[in-house]
Structure 1
Amino acid sequence: MIDFRYHLVSLISVFLALAVGIILGAGPLQEAIGDQLTDQVEALRAERIELSEDLVETESELADQNAYALAAGAELVDGSLEGVTVAVVDAEGVADTVEADVVNQLEAAGARIVAQASLTDAWTSAEDAVLRGTVADGQREQLEDMVGEDDTTSAVLGAALGLALTEPDPQAPGVRSDRSAELYELMSRVGLVESRFEPSGPADAVLLLAGSPADDEATSDTDRAEVPDDVDAVAVVSALQETAQDVVVAGPTTTEGELVADVRADEDAASRVSTVNGTERAVMRLNVPLALAARLVDEVGHYGFEEDAVVVPPAVELPDEEDGTAGAGTTVGDADAEADADAGDGGDS
């Protein structure tokens, strides 16, 4: 049994230890502890200053590298789309500044923008499912040369959009066909398309601009779960490619569920439609005209910093309408090689 003397000894020990600690802390150890803490604070302050200076230097170097990339890229882009007509379609509420810069890049490359439009929420909202079905069913007969009986609503609407933007008049290639004008007017009237300016002529290529990823992950997941059964964005893009022939989808750094990522994840669509990501960065927007130029000579690719993408599209030479010096699918390197081979053959003969 523990008696009072045990408790007394324990209390005395505790107070002795406390007294020794106070004496040592206020005496011989005070200066050592203070010096050690001071040294640590000074070391942390010096490290923080060094990190701040490194950050400023890194940001300066990055700014210089971006400036160089933009300047060098502008030289590469210049003239890459000379004489090409392009329709720009905002598919997902792209920021005005991003879209304006992309259009500027296309025009700097020599392209002529013949249409600039936006797809409305009616393409995806559950409330507009009947509208989509009615429009698609009404156009199947008119588009029987382009769509099949079993094609989905999304596929029919994608095909109609492609024809509305690109089909020329057979008798006047620089003029839109009657079917093209009628389809675009219908899609505008029913609220599927809103125009910045209506098509002024048939487009040689179509650029689909995708928007930024949703900030609220929970909201994004909910929206994806509520996508109507008749909505298939990849089917729209694939059908658009089928009728327009040359389509590029460009958007921000890809995340699951975004349009660029969905196209790349679909084996068939990825083999026929080119994509560009990273459009939130000015330097990556330079890839858009280069990707369009490559697509016009049948070079399909996916461009960006992801593992499944190439950083920069290949340099290509578009066909010359006057003398046909470069044909479809001919890159600059291929054209030079063919020229050398022809020269060699001429020397042998």
Structure 2
Amino acid sequence: MIDFRYHLVSIIAVFLALALGLVVGASALRGPLVDQLKDNSNRLKNSNEVLRKEKDAAAQVRDYGSQVTDAVAGQVVAGRLKDQSVVFVEAPGADDQMRAQTADMVQKAGARISGYVTLQSKYLDPNQQATLNELTDQLKPAGLNFPADASSYDRTASELASVLVTKQAARSGQEDPAAGQVLSGFKEAGFLTFSGQPATRATLAIVIAPAAASNDKNADAQNKALGALPTALYTYGGGVVAVGDPDSATQGGLIKALRDDDDADGHVSTVDTADVPAGRLTAVLALVAAKQGKAGDYGIGSKVDGPLPTPVPTPTPTMTKTKK
């Protein structure tokens, strides 16, 4: 019994001593430690406040720049695309707002929009490639020939481009029943949708890239499939510009893929800032330059030629009226 009480008292004594040590130690360190923590907290708080103010100031400047650009853009682009027509082609995952805002800028430049074509995710589905290829053969218009080494996506892109754009201004704006049948066939099969009258064939084209770069393991193959269409639109039309946001110019993005593609180089213009008014203004200027046979890469991403075409393209004689 004594041994038990001895051990119990010893254990209690040890815990009391430990508790006393913690109390004494905490008391001794409390002042300096707490002061140091308070100083660090205050420094972090002040630093965060400075960063917040800098972020707010940068946002204000950006918004100001966008508002000014938006206000004057109509005057800058007015008449530059007069007598031209433009078809819009959206990749799966493209930003509808970017399309609408870019279309508004194109209309301010005086162009007629023939229609809007939106590719569906089924278009890029590897399991649907055989079906897409078979449908391409079934719908192929008379007189259209494919290169012997063309891939299945090259063939489909050529077929779509041949019914969406033309190099002959006289053919633009005229409803083509054969072209309408091709588009309707792909639409009924679920590979695309369209609105407006894209079968009237435009002289120029704008391709809207997916809103986000792809992290999918098949990203390269998908971008190659999508990239075949701008290249084909260049072949059959008077000029093409592919647009997207800065993310589209990074790894896995369509804009970057086009800039890395030898087939598109020198033929397909790109703009990686179409999410802001300045970028959409650049898209119109790039389209004017493309019509004049000049392709380039514009924006803030890698491999750009500059923020916009240089020198800034001027309206062609057909776009202006001579004062008497």
Q: Distance in 2 between matches of 1:239 and 1:148?
A: 12
Structure 2 match to 1:333: none
Structure 2 match to 1:318: 315
1:294 to 289, 297, 303: 289
**Deviation by residue 1:282-316 (Cα, 9 ceiling, x = unmatched):** 43222221211111111101111023112113422
Q: Distance in 2 between matches of 1:171 and 1:22?
A: 95
RMSD (CA atoms): 3.6
Amino acid paired to 2:104? N
TM-superposed deviation, 1:172: 6.0
CA contact (8 A) 2:240 2:287 kept: yes
CA contact (8 A) 1:102 1:285 kept: yes
Question: Which consecutive unaligned segments of at least 5 residues does structure 2 have?
Answer: 1-16
Structure 2 match to 1:93: 93
CA contact (8 A) 2:259 2:265 kept: yes
Correspondence list, 1:156-167, <5 A: 156-167=155-166
Question: Which consecutive unaligned segments of at least 5 residues does structure 1 have?
Answer: 1-14, 326-349
CA contact (8 A) 1:105 1:286 kept: yes
- Residue 260 of structure 1 pairs with residue 255 of structure 2: yes
Q: Distance in 2 between matches of 1:187 and 1:91?
A: 15
TM-superposed deviation, 1:159: 1.5
Q: Distance in 2 between matches of 1:259 and 1:319?
A: 31
- SS at 1:268 equivalent: coil
Structure 1 match to 2:240: 247
**Deviation by residue 1:253-284 (Cα, 9 ceiling, x = unmatched):** 21223222111111221221111113333432
Q: Distance in 2 between matches of 1:177 and 1:108?
A: 27
Q: Cα–Cα, structure 1 residues 200 and 163, in superposed 2: closer, same or farther, change >3 Å?
A: closer
CA contact (8 A) 1:168 1:174 kept: no
Structure 2 match to 1:331: none
**Deviation by residue 1:42-73 (Cα, 9 ceiling, x = unmatched):** 55444444443333333323332333343344
CA contact (8 A) 1:169 1:178 kept: no
CA contact (8 A) 1:85 1:111 kept: yes
Q: Cα–Cα, structure 1 residues 40 and 65, in superposed 2: closer, same or farther, change >3 Å?
A: same
Structure 2 match to 1:193: 192
Q: Cα–Cα, structure 1 residues 154 and 35, in superposed 2: closer, same or farther, change >3 Å?
A: closer
TM-superposed deviation, 1:204: 1.0
- SS at 2:263 equivalent: helix
**Deviation by residue 1:311-348 (Cα, 9 ceiling, x = unmatched):** 113422333338999xxxxxxxxxxxxxxxxxxxxxxx
Correspondence list, 1:300-311, <5 A: 300-309=295-304, 310-311=306-307
Amino acid paired to 1:209? I
Q: Cα–Cα, structure 1 residues 41 and 269, in superposed 2: closer, same or farther, change >3 Å?
A: closer
Structure 2 match to 1:234: 227
TM-superposed deviation, 1:121: 2.8
Q: Distance in 2 between matches of 1:39 and 1:123?
A: 59
Amino acid paired to 1:321? T
CA contact (8 A) 1:170 1:177 kept: no
Structure 2 match to 1:66: 66
TM-superposed deviation, 1:192: 3.0
Structure 2 match to 1:118: 118
Query: Normalising to structure 2: TM-score of the pair?
Result: 0.76
Q: Distance in 1 between matches of 2:130 and 2:86?
A: 31
Q: Distance in 1 between matches of 2:58 and 2:298?
A: 26
Structure 2 match to 1:224: 219
CA contact (8 A) 1:175 1:201 kept: yes
Q: Distance in 2 between matches of 1:323 and 1:30?
A: 80
CA contact (8 A) 1:168 1:175 kept: no
- SS at 1:127 equivalent: helix
TM-superposed deviation, 1:112: 1.2
Aligned residues: 299
**Deviation by residue 1:150-178 (Cα, 9 ceiling, x = unmatched):** 32222221121112112489986542445
TM-superposed deviation, 1:205: 0.5
Q: Distance in 1 between matches of 2:84 and 2:260?
A: 29
**Deviation by residue 1:1-40 (Cα, 9 ceiling, x = unmatched):** xxxxxxxxxxxxxx9xx99x959x968x976776666555
Structure 1 match to 2:83: 83
- SS at 1:300 equivalent: coil
Structure 1 match to 2:106: 106
Structure 2 match to 1:152: 151
